[in-house]
């Protein structure tokens, strides 16, 4: 996993250099042995800014000064350039507008300063790490294996339930498909929906109730303690955890599982049923309005009704694969995606049929286009080979799955800050 992230980072850097018209310099950075650093700190002012400070003395006049930083596990480095006086003494800071350059709370930010001297040589300060945490609140934490849950002080029952649910969801998914995700996972549980909403990017949809960011190994949600808290913990975290595990076990620089597979697995293994799925799916079957599987390879529609159908279909497709072909075939499909192949190739490799054949067999299983009117999703005898019935209740929660990629290169120069980013995103959350 980590080696693939390194490959992706190197490839992204090459593309950046080409697109920015930059010539690779023969001057390589060296350790800051000749840089006398007396202060190197990072201060979090969540959610508005992140401030980097440096006080140091260089052996020669400084001609260029930058702070390089990135979220842990993110292969894309961001660069903020600051003005220099031309002397040898450095006493400066770089303030990043986090409303403009959003990062979710709970991630570690890795940073270092890069100092260019008059003769062209480059010195770098030792790499440091700061946790970009929402310091407006007092947090407690609990850890089990690779999972750490942060929760509001005093909400110990919620924190314990969140930890147990996440760990159990990881373990069950891994055991079912004979896979292993060894990277750590952080879960932040806010004490209310309003508190959680205040930590999201500006102008986020009001209905967002949970976010999973596999590339950052992070889950965020807001759960009010008291009556109903346990159900909410199970509903949200059993769903979001699947996104994290799927993201880890299929991580590669070239392709990611399509929404029908990623969302289908998350909804299938979610611990709360949504009674709207069966009638929505049945209505589309009876009217001949099913969305083709191939159309679900990309982002789901913005239209609420079509989005609801997309999630209902995705859960049904995953249910078809698991009940009719077996968990071993699903494991093979996930393994195929870890190799970075196309969607068509992954389905062929994992299931032994083409994507179009999957579409045809699934529709036949539903009785689509014939006299039979059935909905296996609605069956009271739910043929679940592993965890029992898991159907999505998603109108009150959503996840924003941000996939780091080489596409979507963006260079921004704002307020003296030169930002380098390379993120491919599937857009706004589509769960309503």
Q: Which domains does the chain have, with CATH numbers?
A: 2-133+406-425 (2.60.40.10), 137-249 (3.40.30.160), 254-393 (no CATH)
Higher per-residue pLDDT: 401 or 258 = 258
Nearest to 56 by CA among 109, 115, 130: 115
**What value does the CA radius of gyration of the chain take, rounded to a whole number of Å?**
24
Spatial separation of the C-alpha atoms in residues 357 and 372, rounded to whole Å: 20
Euclidean distance between CA atoms 284 and 116, whole angstroms: 63
pTM of the model: 0.78
Q: Give residue-wise pLDDT tens across range 299-324.
A: 888 788 999 999 999 999 999 999 99
* pLDDT at residue 418 in the model: 37
Tokens of 359: 């579409």
Whether residue 357 has pLDDT greater than 90: yes
pLDDT digits (tens, 9 = 90+) for 361-393: 999 999 997 544 444 544 333 333 333 333 233
As a whole number, the mean pLDDT across the chain is 82
Q: Token pair of 364, please?
A: 């036949």
Give backbone dihedrals phi and psi of 304, rounded to 5 degrees, phi first. Answer: -55, -40
Residue positions counted in the chain? 432
**Measured CA angle at 244 (ends 46, 365), to 5 deg:** 140
**Is residue 312 helix, strand or coil?**
helix
For the cut 80, the answer to whether the pLDDT of residue 421 exceeds it is no
pLDDT digits (tens, 9 = 90+) for 233-279: 999 999 999 999 999 999 999 999 999 999 999 999 998 877 789 99
Nearest CA to 350 out of 378, 379, 321, 320 is that of: 321
Upstream peptide bond of 47 is cis (omega within 30 degrees of 0): yes
Beta strand pairing call for 122-124 and 185-190: unpaired
Q: Taken in order 404, 407, 410, 411, is the CA torsion positive or negative?
A: positive
Note whether 19 and 67 are within 8 A (CB).
Answer: no
Q: Mean pLDDT over residues 194-205, rounded? A: 89
- Local structure of residue 199 (DSSP, 8 states): T
Closest by Cα among 423, 427, 431 to 101: 423
Neighbour tally for 123: CB within 10 Å: 22
N-term to C-term CA, the chain:
32
| Tokens linked to 34 | 């000749």
Better-scored residue on pLDDT, 344 or 424? 344
């Amino acid at each position: 996993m980590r080696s693939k992230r390194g490959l992706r980072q190197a490839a992204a850097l090459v593309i950046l250099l080409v697109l920015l018209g930059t010539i690779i310099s023969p001057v390589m950075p060296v350790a800051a042995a000749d840089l006398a650093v007396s202060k190197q700190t990072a201060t979090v002012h969540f959610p508005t800014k992140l401030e980097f400070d440096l006080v140091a003395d260089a052996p020669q006049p400084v001609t260029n000064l930058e702070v390089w930083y990135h979220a842990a596990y993110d292969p894309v480095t961001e660069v903020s350039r600051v003005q220099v006086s031309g002397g040898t003494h450095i006493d400066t800071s770089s303030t990043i507008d986090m409303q403009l350059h959003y990062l979710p709370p709970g991630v570690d930010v890795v940073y270092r300063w890069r100092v260019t001297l008059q003769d062209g040589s480059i010195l770098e300060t030792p790499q440091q790490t700061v946790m970009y945490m929402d310091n407006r609140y007092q947090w407690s934490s609990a850890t089990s294996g690779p999972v750490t849950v942060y929760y509001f002080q005093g909400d110990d029952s919620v924190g314990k339930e969140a930890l147990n649910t996440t760990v159990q969801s990881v373990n069950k998914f891994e055991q079912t498909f004979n896979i292993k995700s060894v990277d750590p996972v952080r879960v932040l549980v806010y004490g209310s929906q309003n508190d959680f909403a205040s930590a999201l990017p500006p102008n986020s949809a009001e209905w967002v109730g949970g976010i999973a960011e596999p590339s950052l190994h992070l889950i965020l949600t807001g759960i009010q303690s008291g009556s109903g808290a346990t159900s909410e913990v199970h509903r949200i975290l059993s769903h979001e955890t699947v996104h994290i595990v799927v993201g880890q076990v299929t991580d590669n620089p070239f392709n990611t599982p399509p929404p029908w597979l990623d969302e289908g697995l998350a909804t299938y293994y979610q611990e709360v049923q949504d009674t709207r799925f069966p009638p929505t799916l049945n209505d589309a079957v009876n009217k001949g309005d099913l969305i083709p599987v191939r159309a679900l390879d990309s982002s789901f529609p913005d239209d609420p009704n079509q989005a609801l159908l997309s999630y209902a279909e995705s859960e049904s497709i995953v249910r078809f694969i698991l009940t009719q072909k077996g968990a071993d075939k699903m494991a093979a499909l996930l393994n195929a995606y870890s190799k970075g192949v196309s969607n068509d190739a992954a389905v062929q490799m994992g299931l032994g049929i083409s994507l179009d054949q999957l579409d045809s067999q699934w529709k036949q299983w539903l009785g689509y286009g014939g006299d039979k009117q059935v909905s296996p999703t609605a069956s009271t005898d739910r043929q679940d080979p592993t965890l029992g019935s898991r159907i999505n209740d998603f109108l009150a929660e959503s996840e924003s799955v941000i996939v780091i990629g080489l596409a979507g290169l963006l260079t921004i120069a704002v307020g003296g800050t030169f930002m380098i980013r390379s993120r491919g995103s599937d857009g706004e959350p589509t769960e309503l």
